[in-house]
Amino acid sequence: MFNNRESAALVARSSGIGRGTVARLCEDLSVVVVRDGAPAEIVCDRLETGGDDVHLAVGDAVLIWESGNEGERGVLFGRIGPSISPPADKDDVPEEVVVEASETLMLRVGDGSVTLTADGRILIKGTDLVSHATRLNRVKGGAVAIN
């Protein structure tokens, strides 16, 4: 027999509001969630708020309610924080992005970098440099030095 503290802990683990992680997105718009600290998966219906649909991806942190009654679906209230995978909607992609600096702009990843300076110089560094073109690939300048 459980004492009151053990019973409360058991109920808290098996029902109520808690955090979870999206495990699967289903075709019927339900979401399969693994509640933090629990091994079992919970099928949840999404809470309709009348606003735009919240984008969900596998791995997103979510807030859910679980009834504790076997066979009864939980309810997904919403995502906690940003999505692991933002939606790939062409309407959300800007037509142009401008990044501006007054003297130097550098993009660097590991051993590779692209540096642009205010005087018009562009330096591309890397262990390998590959240039692809489906049409014309032109190298043009006042002087072109190869090797």
Same domain? 106 vs 57: no
Amino acid identity of 61?
A: A
C-alpha gyration radius of the chain: 26
Q: Other C-beta atoms within 10 Å of 113: how many?
A: 13
**Is 36 a member of any domain?**
yes
Q: Which pLDDT belongs to residue 47? A: 87
The torsion defined by the Cα of 133, 138, 144 and 146, in degrees rounded to 10, comes to 30
**Among 52-56, 81-85, 130-134, which stretch is predicted with the lowest mean pLDDT?**
52-56
State the DSSP H helix or E strand holding residue 7, giving kind and residue range, or none if neither.
helix 4-14
Q: Is residue 88 one of the residues assigned to a domain? A: no
- Whole-angstrom Cα distance, residue 29 to residue 65? 17
One domain for residues 9 and 74: yes
Number of domains into which the chain is organized: 2
In a domain, 20, yes or no: yes
pLDDT at 11: 47
Q: Find the domain containing 52 and state its range.
A: 4-79
In a domain, 84, yes or no: no
Tens-place pLDDT, residues 64-122: 998 878 788 999 998 998 887 765 656 667 778 788 889 999 999 999 999 999 999 99
**12 and 48 both lie in a single domain:** yes
Task: Based on the fold, state whether residues 38 and 105 are members of the same structural domain.
Answer: no
In a domain, 146, yes or no: no
- 55, 33 contact by CB (below 8 A): no
Sheet of 104-109, strand order: 104-109, 112-117, 122-125
Evaluate whether residue 89 is within a structural domain: no
Domain assignment present for residue 124? The answer is yes
Does residue 144 form part of some domain? no
10 Å CB burial of residue 35 (0-12, 13-18, 19+) is buried
The Cα-based distances of 109 to 102, 116, 121, 123 in angstroms read 22, 15, 20, 14
Verify that 17 and 66 share a domain, yes or no. yes
The whole-number pLDDT of residue 92 equals: 64
Would you state the torsion angle of the CA atoms of residues 39, 43, 47, 53, taken in this order, to the nearest 10 degrees?
A: 100
Here the CATH number for the domain that contains residue 23 is: 2.40.50.140
